[in-house]
Amino acid sequence: MDLVVERSNEPPGLTGGICRQCGFVFFPYQSLGCERCGAFGQDLTLRTLAASGRVRSGVIVQMGTAQIDAPYGAIEIELDDGPVVRGLSEGPQIVPIGAAVVGQLDQDSDAEAHLRLWFKRAEAN
Amino acid sequence: MAKSLADLRPTFVIGAGWHPFQNPSDTHYSVLGLTAIRGALGDAGIPWSEVEQTFVGTALLGMASGRPMLKHLGALGQPVVHIENASASGSAAFHLACAQVAGGLSDVVLVLGVDKRPAGGGAARAPAYQASIADHAIAPVTHFALLADEYLHANGVSPEDVARIAVKNHGNGALNPNAQRQKARSLEEVLNSRFIAGSLTALQCCPVGEGAAAVIVASEDAIRRLGVAGDKPVRIAAGAAASERFDGSDREITTEVIKRALFQSSIEAAQIDIFETHDAFAIEEAFYAEAAGLCPAGHYTKLLQEGAFDIGGKCAVSPSGGLLAMGHPIGPTGVGQIGEITLQLRGQAGPRQHQGAQVGVASMVGLGAVGYAHVLVRP
């Protein structure tokens, strides 16, 4: 299942879920069990969340990992739809706390050609 | 109704030993572990034959590391169990050992924390069922850099203020012959070390290393029977454990376990003289000290600058050097905290001694996340 979905004329969607028993909204989608109440299987349904929200924190990372070269920007976002996620920011640059951000999709540069999600300031659109 | 550790029979730490925490080397883990165990047995003044069970806290060694090492003390058939709880492996081993003795199932147990990195590799975590969008880019240091950014912004704290935590801990480590980093650092050196993520520089991050720490846990009956010297036993007053709730974090776990442990032992936060915690990244010390109630939220670095958390201050925080300077080989870390607090409460910490220490708290978190707190008191 793809974590990110392209949508025309809207921010990308994030494949999240909602628990029918307790209403907990979560990302990414899974049907193993609700972290709040334990309901599972068909009690957990898909919900597409908007890749937009407000920045809670943001840093420039100077030490890469096996999968990504530094420097890059990492931010924590409270999505408009509720869940808190970490993502990559346009840049690397610092995105101020409280700034509204929206997801963008690029074709990743690697050979597998999958979509890369990163966040930019909403005001820049 | 379930009981707490404080409800059960009194339990004591009677011995502590280390193999110094060090940079990765060719030293076999058995050498690390046996050095620490023999140190603890010698400190307690008891023979290996009196140990009834061993709890081994290790995250990196792989299956069945204990007996091939322990047999070199004499293969006497005592049970051994291995505990993995990420950074809290040693603390978890200690927690279970305390329950074993307090519950009356054993009179004398050994707790050993021992770890070294596998050749060519790092610490491997069980694969997540479902990855999120940037998991590949959020290493632990970045996770805490993001939390630090939020904290600095919310509390008007500067990166220099946080760096002073590392200055204190490197200074304490310089006084500790078992520490991996034994060099005092100036604020400039800490700030000018290599940037890793956000405001966190290399000297504000714990090193990668290896080592071992061991403690002996015993009942009053055993102390009397074995003639343990009067200056050795330190009372384990309370212990608490928890895991992360769906809407929580390491800070909430720490708040919960310390609150429960202090309640069990009828001790207030203001009475804590020694606090050892999971300062793998400098900002964490502020988080967990505030979670412990040592000061109001957002005030840690201000009081730190006034000397409140130095050795000799209001409460000595990370007198061992903490994970930043003592090191964080993983399995040994939590056991080493217990050993440090034991020395402090006995008045045997040498140049690191916090005078008049009566109450110590060891606080640990581990990936999962899980958390532990233990309260030790001078008898």
CB–CB of B198 and A75 under 8 A? Answer: no
Q: Where are the domains of chain A?
A: 3-121
Cα dihedral A36, A38, A44, A50 in deg (nearest 10) = 20
Tell whether omega for the bond before A96 is within 30 degrees of 0, i.e. cis: no
CA dist B50 to B35, B41, B77, B132, B217, Å? Answer: 18, 10, 12, 50, 11
pLDDT, position A108: 61
Are A97 and B230 contacting, i.e. CB atoms less than 8 angstroms apart? no
Cβ of residue A30 closer than 8 Å to a chain B Cβ: yes
CA distance B359 to A119: 48
The 10s digit of each residue's pLDDT in A31-83 is 999 999 999 999 999 999 999 999 999 999 999 988 889 999 999 999 999 99
pLDDT tops 60 at residue A112: no
Reading phi first (left if > 0) and then psi (alpha if -120 to 50, else beta), residue B45 is in left
pLDDT, position A109: 57
DSSP A114: -
pLDDT, position B193: 97
pLDDT, position A115: 64
What amino acid is encoded at B297 in this protein? A
Are B141 and B197 contacting, i.e. CB atoms less than 8 angstroms apart? yes
pLDDT, position B328: 97
Exposed / middle / buried, residue A31 (Cβ in 10 Å: 0-12, 13-18, 19+): middle
Nearest to B134 among A36, A66, A74 (CB): A74
Are A34 and A24 contacting, i.e. CB atoms less than 8 angstroms apart? yes
pLDDT, position A125: 46
Contacts of A35 in chain B (CB under 8 A): 246
User: For the stretch B140-173, what's the b/e string if a residue is b when 16 or more beta carbons lie within 10 angstroms of its beta carbon?
Assistant: ebbbbbbbbbbbbeebebebebbbbbbbbbbbbb
CB–CB of A87 and B134 under 8 A? Answer: yes
Mutate which of B125, B147, B149, B200 to disrupt the A interface (most A C-beta within 10 Å)? Answer: B149
Mutate which of A24, A27, A57 to disrupt the B interface (most B C-beta within 10 Å)? Answer: A57
Contacts of B142 in chain A (CB under 8 A): 59, 61, 74
What amino acid is encoded at B227 in this protein? G
* CA gyration radius, chain A: 15
| Pairs of CB atoms within 8 A across A/B | 88
Contacts of B132 in chain A (CB under 8 A): 3, 27-28, 85-86
pLDDT, position A114: 58
Q: What is the pLDDT along chain B (379 residues), one digit of tens a residue?
A: 999 999 999 999 999 999 999 999 999 999 999 999 999 999 999 999 999 999 999 999 999 999 999 999 999 999 999 999 999 999 999 999 999 999 999 999 999 999 999 877 667 889 888 888 898 899 999 999 999 999 999 999 999 999 999 999 999 999 999 999 999 999 999 999 999 999 999 999 999 999 999 999 999 999 999 999 999 999 999 999 999 998 888 999 999 999 999 999 999 999 999 999 999 999 999 999 999 999 999 999 999 999 999 999 999 999 999 999 999 999 999 999 999 999 999 999 999 999 999 999 999 999 989 999 999 999 8
DSSP A19: E
Tell whether omega for the bond before A28 is within 30 degrees of 0, i.e. cis: yes
CA distance B102 to B98: 6
Contacts of B369 in chain A (CB under 8 A): none
pLDDT, position A84: 95
Contacts of A75 in chain B (CB under 8 A): 146
How many degrees, rounded to 5, is the angle at CA B289 between CA B124 and CA B273?
115
CA distance B275 to A26: 36
CB–CB of A36 and B246 under 8 A? Answer: yes
CA dist B47 to B40, B57, B96, B227, Å? Answer: 10, 21, 22, 12
CA distance B338 to B36: 13
pLDDT tops 70 at residue A111: no
Cβ of residue A32 closer than 8 Å to a chain B Cβ: yes
- Which uninterrupted H or E stretch holds A119? strand A115-121
Contacts of B194 in chain A (CB under 8 A): 62
Dihedral sign from CA coordinates of B214, B220, B224, B226: negative
Quick one: angle between helices B140-155 and B282-291, nearest 10?
60
pLDDT tops 90 at residue A92: no
CA dist B174 to B35, B184, B263, Å? Answer: 21, 6, 34
Q: How many residues does chain B have?
A: 379
ipTM of the complex model? 0.90
CB atoms under 10 Å from CB of B192, counted, come to 13
